[in-house]
Amino acid sequence: MKTVRVATAVAYDVRIGPGLLAGAHEAVRGRSACAVVSDKKVTRLYKSSVGTLADSPWFELEPGEDSKSFATLERVLDFQSRSRLDRRSTLIAFGGGVVGDVGGMAAALYMRGIQYVQVPTTLLAQVDSSVGGKTAVNLAAGKNLAGVFHQPSLVIADTSTLATLSDDEFRSGLGEVIKTALLTGADALALLERDASRIWSRDPSALETVVEMCVRTKAAIVSRDPHEKGPRKLLNLGHTFAHAIEHEAGYGKVPHGVAVGVGLCLALATSQRTQRLADPELPARVDALLAAFGMPRSLAALTGVKLDPARLVSAMSLDKKNAAGKLRLVLPVSAGDAIFDVEVDEPSLLATLRAPHSA
C-alpha cells in the first residue's frame, strides 16, 4: 500500500493499493454512526467486500451523469436524516466520480458539514475527483456549476476495483492520467509512453504507479491552493473544452475523461496558435498516447455526436475560471509547465475548433 498525505487545513491520507476494501470499516471506528452512498453497479460488485460497512444504511444512486442533480442531492440529504446521522457521523462515498461529487456535497450541506470518506472505484475517481474536496452537481447551463469545497477525511483507492471497469470507463480515467502527466513533467509523460501497453492491459503494478503519480501531483497542488484561487487552476487543463463538449453533446454522451483527452489536444493547438507552446513535439506525443489507448483526438472523432464550434465557444463562456466576461484557459507550454488565466479571444478559439485537426 502507498500513502499520500494531502496537507490542507485538515490534512488527510490517500491510501492506494489492491485489497483495501476489506479494511474500509476501520475509517469509521469511533464515529457515532455511518452511512454509505453508492450506485447500483458498485453495490452489486463490491458490497460483499467491505466487511461490516455492508450492515450500515445504504443508498444507491442510478449510475451515470444524470444523477449529478439537485433532485438526487435532496434524496441523499433525506437519506442522511433518515439514517440518524449527526455531526459526529461519517458518510462514505463509495463509487465513481458521480457518487463522490454528490455524496461529498451532501456531506458538506448536512448539518452544515459532516465528515465523509471517499472510496473511489473508477480510474477517473482514483486519479482525480476523489482528491481535493471538490463536490458539485450540474446545472442546465453547465457542468459542476453548483458545488462547495469539502475535503474528505480519508481516501481509500483500492486499485483492484479497476479490473472490473469497462474499456470505456477505463479510457475516461486515462484522459485525466495524461493531463496529470503533462502537468507533472517529462519523466511522468515518458512513464506513460514506456508503459502504455502495461497500463492498457491493467497490469496491477503499473496501475498502482500511475494512480500514485497522479495523486501525488494533485495533492501537492491542492495543498498549496485548496480553494482554487491560483495554481490549482492548472488541474483544469483541457477541462474548459471538455465541459463544453459534455454540455453540448448532452451529459453522459461523451465520458468526462474522453472529453478531457480531446480538450488536451485543443488546448495544445490553442497554445501553439497563440505562440505560447515552447515544445513543438508535445502535441504529437499526446496524440500518440491517446491513440495508444484507443481514444479520440479530435471533435470529429467523438462517436455519435456532431458539435458546432460556435455553440462550444458559447458553452465555454460559462466556465467557472472566466472573469468579467473574458474566456480564460489553462494552456500547456511544455511537459511540466503550463499557464493559467490566459485570456483567449473568441476568434482564436473558433479558428482552433474549426481547424482540420479538430474537424
Q: What pLDDT digit, counting tens, does each position of 272-281 carry?
A: 999 999 999 9
278 and 160, same structural domain?
no
State the average pLDDT for the chain: 95
Q: To which residue does cell 484522459 refer?
A: 175
Mean pLDDT of 34-51: 96
Q: Would you say residue 160 lies in a domain?
A: yes
Domain CATH for 48: 3.40.50.1970
Mean pLDDT of 253-265: 96
- pLDDT score, position 303: 83
Integer Rg of the chain from CA: 19
Distance CA 231, CA 287 (A): 25
Q: Would you say residue 204 lies in a domain?
A: no
11 and 142, same structural domain?
yes
263 and 147, same structural domain?
no
Note down the domain range covering 46: 2-164
Residues 232, 226: contact at Cβ < 8 Å?
A: yes
111 and 234, same structural domain?
no
Q: What pLDDT digit, counting tens, does each position of 165-190 carry?
A: 999 999 999 999 999 999 999 999 99
Q: Would you say residue 285 lies in a domain?
A: yes
Q: How many domains does the chain have?
A: 2
Distance CA 240, CA 259 (A): 10
- 6-15, 30-39, 309-318, 329-338: segment of lowest average pLDDT: 309-318
Give the HSE-up count for residue 288: Cα atoms under 13 Å, Cβ half-sphere: 12
- pLDDT score, position 139: 93
Q: Would you say residue 359 lies in a domain?
A: no
Distance CA 312, CA 294 (A): 24
Residues ≥6 apart with Cβ < 8 Å to 258: 168, 171, 172, 175, 295, 296, 302
C-alpha cell at 49: 467486500
240 and 147, same structural domain?
no
Q: Is it the case that residue 312 has pLDDT exceeding 60? A: yes
Q: Is it the case that residue 84 has pLDDT exceeding 80? A: yes
321 and 254, same structural domain?
yes
Residues ≥6 apart with Cβ < 8 Å to 99: 37, 38, 39, 42, 61, 93, 125
Q: What pLDDT digit, counting tens, does each position of 102-159 carry?
A: 999 999 999 999 999 999 999 999 999 999 999 999 998 888 999 999 999 999 999 9
Distance CA 143, CA 45 (A): 28
Q: What pLDDT digit, counting tens, does each position of 3-15 carry?
A: 999 999 989 999 9
Q: To which residue does cell 469539502 refer?
A: 150
- pLDDT score, position 357: 67
156 and 26, same structural domain?
yes
Q: Would you say residue 187 lies in a domain?
A: no
Strands 328-334 and 134-139: unpaired
Q: Is it the case that residue 325 has pLDDT exceeding 90? A: no
Q: Would you say residue 236 lies in a domain?
A: yes
Domain CATH for 226: 1.20.1090.10
271 and 136, same structural domain?
no
Q: Would you say residue 212 lies in a domain?
A: no
Q: Is it the case that residue 201 has pLDDT exceeding 70? A: yes
Q: Is it the case that residue 164 has pLDDT exceeding 60? A: yes
148 and 21, same structural domain?
yes
Residue of 208, 186, 308, 243 lying closest to 68 (CA atoms) = 243
Last residue within a domain, chosen from 140, 164, 188: 164
327-339 burial, b if ≥16 CB within 10 A, otherwise e? bbbbbbebbbebe
Active site (catalytic) residues: 112, 134, 176, 218, 228, 232, 236, 239, 243, 256
Name the more confident of 258 and 304: 258
Chain-centre distance for alpha carbon 195: 22
- pLDDT score, position 292: 97
344 and 246, same structural domain?
yes
- pLDDT score, position 324: 62
